[in-house]
Structure 1
Amino acid sequence: MKKTYLIILTCIIGLNSFGQRLSIDDFKLVESLPDWIMFKINDIKTEKDLVLDKEMNPFYLETDFNGDNKLDIAFCIRDKQTNKKGILIIHGGDFKSYLIGAGNSFAHVGDDFKFIELWKIYRDRVVELTEFAENGDILGNKEIKIENDAILVSKSESASNLIAWENDKYVWLHTGD
């Protein structure tokens, strides 16, 4: 009996942990999505229960972030339980989701992207990357090339940074102060 109870409990916990998704509770916003994602949005599985951050304008970014010649989409979101903000990127080729922030630590930036006030697609292939010494002092800038469109994020009148696809993962590129 205990074994049966344990199996049932494990299944229930498993279903809850794999049943996380992105909630968009505004029908008009769902209707505003591109068709390729609008009809799949309820099938997208995420690591956490997430809700769209409707305060961001635009509320999504659409381009090919990973270089597979398929459109991808990014949403500013927040974790329903912790209220921490982040970005959810969904690749259009395989519908795999990538959660940056919202309780998941990313690079040296932390796990809450509440500082983001502005975001847009960065289409240039050349980036002025800020280089730092081990003690945190700025050494200068180094020009690097990126292969795909990236997400530029910033706080108003502050440094801008990029979230870019590099070597099969998303990375943080500090581009200015």
Structure 2
Amino acid sequence: MIPFTLLLYLPLLVSKPPHTAFPAWAQVQWQQQKLEQTFSRNNYLRTALLQADFNGDGKVDVAIPVVWRATGSQGVIIFHQGQAAPFMIGTTSNPTDELPKGNLAWANQWKLFTKQKTYEVYLDKQETLRERPVTLRYPAIEFSDGEKGGVLYWTGTRYRWLYQSC
């Protein structure tokens, strides 16, 4: 039997699910960019969206999982509040080697990463697997399949991908 005093505090102990409604300002960007013609929203990452101030401007941004209609490629679109153009990751061949190319279908989970320090896995000149520390100034997004993964973070001017082992 549960003590009466614990019953009084039980509602405080149960955490509420994260707010997952697509914000109106992001919906406006989605429509203005006519993204529905190219992408469909999809919950392949088991969470409808992530919200945080990804770029450190003091405004809450939003990331949503999407599928590129032409190829079925899975990716993510990140909307920065107050900016017209969203960032598309993993749905096409990205213009830089610092982002994952192609398809994020390998990832089956994502979550906010709020630690200020993480580690990047890389191969040195002798092709030995190494790690180096990376300092993060803003919340990032961690992708994983349970064995491999990475962290997508804002550098202050662009998004960068850190390869990691889980």
TM-score normalised to structure 1 length? 0.72
CA apart distance, 1:35: 4.0
**Match in the other structure for 2:107:** 116
Separation in structure 1 between the aligned mates of residue 99 and residue 155 of structure 2, nearest angstrom: 16
What CA deviation, in whole Å up to 9, does each residue of 1:59-91 have, x standing for no partner? 111101111111111111111111111110010
CA apart distance, 1:134: 4.1
1:145 is aligned, of 132, 135, 141, to 135
Mark the CA change 1:109 to 1:37 in structure 2 (over 3 Å): closer, same or farther. closer
TM-score normalised to structure 2 length? 0.76
Separation in structure 2 between the aligned mates of residue 81 and residue 39 of structure 1, nearest angstrom: 23
Identity among equivalent positions (%) equals 19
Q: Answer yes or no: is the 8 Å Cα contact 2:152–2:159 preserved in 1.
A: yes
* Deviation beyond 4 Å, 4+ runs, structure 1: none
CA apart distance, 1:39: 5.2
Q: What is the alpha-carbon root mean square deviation over aligned residues?
A: 2.4
1:82 aligns with 2:79: no
**Match in the other structure for 1:160:** 149
Q: Which runs of 5+ in 1 are unaligned?
A: 1-30
Matches within 5 A, 1:90-101: 90-101=79-90
Q: Which runs of 5+ in 2 are unaligned?
A: 1-19
SS in 2 for 1:162: strand
